[in-house]
Amino acid sequence: MKIKEIYQLAVQKGIERDPRGMETVHKLLERVKKRYEDLKEEKRSEFDQDKLFNPYSDTRILAGDPEKEVGRALVGIDIEVGEVLLADRLSERSGPIDLIIAHHPEGKAMSALYQVMHLQEDFLARYGVPINVAEGMMASRIAEVKRGLMPLNHNRAVDAAKILNQSLMCMHTPADNHVVDFLQKIFDEEKPERLTDVIKLLKTIPEYKEAVTNNAGPTIVVGSKERRAGKILVEMTGGTSGSEEVYSKLAQAGIGTVVVMHLNEKHRKEAEKNHVNVVIAGHMASDSLGMNLILDELQKKGIEIIPCAGLIRHSRA
């Protein structure tokens, strides 16, 4: 496969598993296309053409020729300068690394991370939060994340890749969409009664089972083992953590337990205050599961996957 084909595959698979539904995503893409067509000529040169087919601002080719054929890929959750150097070293010792794939965004994909957070608005609406309330809650949080990204040095790994003639891309929300879809289906089918059953069910999944051995497995942070789970919501996509106000609205919408990758203290307190149970499934394990579901498609195409930087590789191909 060529790099551009891997990129396009990741985007398409992300759309197929998007919690908003494919119809909603295609409507959003049509709106983007209309906005582009309405731009004046001088503004069109500033427009990111990828937005016309890719609804995920945190997923991009960052370095290298999109036409390059890929036989071996170094894949990690966080790709920084050290991992770029690792790819260069591996290329010398054991054959060429044709592409480095990061999960978490770098470069322009990182600086635009906040844009994908609008996904959370429609996601919450699907679970009973009125869309006007969801948009209102998310507005200030999205602005906060945007301001927080502004001072960062986004391009360190990208610059290192360019200097060493390494190809680099990232796939963030498409992978996160996959883990949400995968886990939500399991919980909907199995209907675990109590939080201890939620934990046991997660531990049957190889990525979480291995994370337990690294002291990074599933953990109850709000509630207790014998608490009843009620309706379970997997909330693991949409860029980064949303507004802490969401827990009161989820409680009103009938959600009993939220399963997340990670949780800050402000969010934990709000969940506790609103009697919403929270299970942290594990960050690296959850990201690995989402990535693996896409990487399996690359493996089927004959691409060798070399895991690094936190990726717990388990093939279902």
Per-residue pLDDT tens for 73-103? 999 999 999 999 999 999 999 999 999 999 9
pLDDT of residue 139: 94
Sole residue written with tokens 């990525």: 207
pLDDT of residue 31: 96
Helices 173-190 & 195-202 angle (0-180, nearest 10): 120
Averaged pLDDT, 233-241: 92
The reply to whether 136 and 250 lie within a common domain is no
3-class DSSP state of 54: coil
316 within some domain: no
243 within some domain: yes
Averaged pLDDT, 33-47: 91
246 within some domain: yes
The reply to whether 187 and 158 lie within a common domain is no
Sole residue written with tokens 């959750």: 77
> Domain of 216: which CATH number?
3.40.1390.30
Instruction: Report the distance separating Cα 74 and Cα 171, nearest Å.
Output: 13
Mean pLDDT of the chain: 96
3-class DSSP state of 213: helix
pLDDT of residue 41: 86
Q: What would the DSSP string read from start to end of 81-134?
A: HHHHHHHHHHHHHHS---EEEESS--HHHHHTGGGGGGHHHHHHHHTT--HHHH
The reply to whether 292 and 224 lie within a common domain is no
Residue range of the domain that includes 119: 3-175+286-308
The reply to whether 277 and 304 lie within a common domain is no
The reply to whether 29 and 171 lie within a common domain is yes
The reply to whether 28 and 84 lie within a common domain is yes
What residues form DSSP beta bridges with 170?
60, 102
The reply to whether 278 and 290 lie within a common domain is no
The reply to whether 139 and 13 lie within a common domain is yes
pLDDT of residue 54: 98
The reply to whether 102 and 147 lie within a common domain is yes
278 within some domain: yes
Instruction: Return the minimum-mean-pLDDT range out of 162-166, 187-191, 261-265, 282-286.
Output: 261-265
Residue 242 confidence (pLDDT) above 90: no
The reply to whether 43 and 110 lie within a common domain is yes
Residue 239 confidence (pLDDT) above 90: no
314 within some domain: no
190 within some domain: yes
Is residue 99 within 8 Å of 76, Cβ to Cβ?
A: no
230 within some domain: yes
Number of domains in the chain: 2
The reply to whether 26 and 113 lie within a common domain is yes
Instruction: Report the distance separating Cα 163 and Cα 52, nearest Å.
Output: 29
215 within some domain: yes
Place 42 in a pLDDT band, splitting at 50, 70 and 90: confident
Measured over all CA atoms, what is the biggest interatomic distance in the chain, rounded to whole angstroms?
62
Instruction: Report the distance separating Cα 62 and Cα 75, nearest Å.
Output: 14
What is the tens place of the pLDDT at every residue in 140-177?
999 999 999 999 999 999 999 999 999 999 999 999 99
Token pair recorded at residue 121: 């608005």
Share of the chain above pLDDT 90, in %: 93
The reply to whether 130 and 79 lie within a common domain is yes
pTM, 2 dp: 0.95
| 62: Cα separation from own chain's centroid | 17
